[in-house]
Amino acid sequence: MSTKPFPFRYYIVTPQFPESAVTNPMNEFLASVERRAYRIAYIATGNREEALDIVQDAMFKLAQRYADRGAEEWGPLFQRILQSRIRDWYRRARARTVWQRIRSSKEEDGGDPMDRLPGPATGEPSKLLGEQGAIDRLDEILHSLPLRQQQVFLLRLWEGLDVRDTARAMGCSEGSVKTHYSRAVHRVRELLEEHWP
Amino acid sequence: MTDDQKRFLEQIRNRLDESSANLDADTLARLRECRKQALAGEPASADSTLRSWYRSLTGIGSLGERLPVAAYLLGSVAVVSVAGWLLLSRPAELQDLSALGNLDLLSAAEEPEFYEQLDFYLWMEHENEG
């Protein structure tokens, strides 16, 4: 197996655990990836609790099964586990959608009609909403992408993986990665362009 | 890739970096807790599937919100279980009588009054024969 360092940009280190970080390399590694892992899971699920569960699960599996591997392997392994957990979540979400449809159809039968009126618009331009508004809008657009496009977009653009490593993390072909990335970039630009100068 | 496109993607990357660098304190604390638990050998997946189903069914997430609903669900299950047990534990002959004894009456085309006055009709027929 290659010992080439993985091309992640793990430069954000949580400063609250300096003593643990010195004594435990796995803790140091997880601290360096947890924020981005959480953001990727959050964009995929749109739910904080689900995202935290996915991150904890990926951390647990890496620490339990691969702690004895070389630290340079942890990056790709963690990313592969994380993406796998997100795909599992999507599969379960499809089944849950059936229940949600049943629930929503029951709720529509009764209750206050005012409750069914649409909420405030969510697509305001970032110029009006500021930094957080722009990030929320970006989250919204990325969340709306098909899962494969979303994964490939974040892995290629944000994590800085090349085509081969992205394909390995996602468990698909390199050709598939190129196709999904091209479509994702096109779609994100189309949706975001009107809000970002 | 054009310069314009590169600039656009760089802008997105910067936004994503900002979003992870500026996570709120509560989320950071939860992440530290997740890390501690993962390193201590505690997976989230043991009950995350159940929790996910629960969230989607009830739309609520915190423990304080879950307890009343969980109590309600448990209570409902208990009531249904007791009712089922009582029904199944009835003596067999009673179940047979209740099921078959009324079958003729329910399936008959005649009015219920006919059966109420059956003794009278039987007496009249006997008189006529006599």
In whole angstroms, what is the distance from residue A172 CA to residue A178 CA?
Answer: 11
Please state the length of chain A: 197
Quick one: CA torsion of B19, B20, B24, B30, rounded to 10 degrees? 150
- Map out the domains of chain A as residue ranges: 7-115, 126-197
- Model confidence pLDDT, tens digit, residues A140-176: 999 999 999 999 999 999 999 999 999 999 989 999 9
Is the whole-model pTM more than 0.90? Answer: no
Output B91 or A112, whichever has higher pLDDT. Answer: B91
Measured in whole angstroms, the distance separating CA B110 from the mean position of its chain's CA atoms is: 43
Facing B27 at nearest CB: one of A17, A38, A92: A38
How many beta carbons lie within 10 A of that of residue B30, not counting itself? 20
Q: Which two structure tokens, joined as six digits, stand for A25? A: 């390399």
Query: What ipTM was reported for this prediction?
Result: 0.71
Instruction: Give the end-to-end CA distance of chain B in Å, rounded to a whole number.
Output: 114
Q: Give the DSSP per-residue string, A109-161.
A: HSS-GGGGS--S-S---HHHHHHHHHHHHHHHHHHHS-HHHHHHHIIIIIS--
Burial class of residue A101, CB neighbours in 10 A (0-12, 13-18, 19+): exposed
| Shortest Cα distance, chain B CAs vs residue A39, angstroms | 6
Residue B62: inside a domain = no
Cβ proximity of A180 and A167 under 8 Å: no
Reading chain B (130 residues) residue by residue, the pLDDT tens digits are 788 888 889 999 999 999 999 999 999 999 999 999 999 887 775 555 556 555 555 554 445 555 666 677 788 888 888 888 887 776 655 555 555 555 565 566 566 666 677 787 788 888 877 6
Q: Is the pLDDT of residue A113 over 50?
A: no
Cα of A1 to nearest chain B Cα, Å:
26
Total number of domains in chain B: 2
At B124 the pLDDT is 81
% of chain B with per-residue pLDDT over 90: 23
CA distances for A3 relative to A65, A69, A71, A78, B45, angstroms: 19, 11, 10, 16, 31
Nearest to residue A6, comparing CAs of A25, A33, A31?
Answer: A33
Inter-chain contact B20–A188, Cβ cutoff 8 Å? no
Chain A residue with Cα closest to B15: A135
Residues in chain B closer than 8 A to A101 (CB atoms): none
Domain A126-197 has CATH 1.10.10.10: yes
Q: Which residues of A touch B49 (CB under 8 A)?
A: 92
Range of the domain at B113: 101-130
Compute the C-alpha angle A181/A124/A159, nearest 5°: 30
B63 contacts in chain A (CB < 8 Å): none
> What is the C-alpha to C-alpha distance for residues A69 and A186, in angstroms, rounded to an integer?
38
CA–CA gap between residue B77 and residue B91 (Å, rounded): 24
CB contact under 8 A, B35 and A31: yes
* B26 within some domain: yes
Query: Smallest Cβ distance to A35: which of B23, B51, B53?
Result: B23
Contact A57 B12 (CB under 8 A): no
Check pLDDT > 90 for residue A78: yes
Cβ-based contacts of B13 with chain A (< 8 Å): 157-158
Q: Give yes or no for a contact between A172 and A148, defined as CB atoms under 8 angstroms apart.
A: yes
Kindly state the helix (H) or strand (E) to which residue A175 belongs, with its residue range: helix A174-192
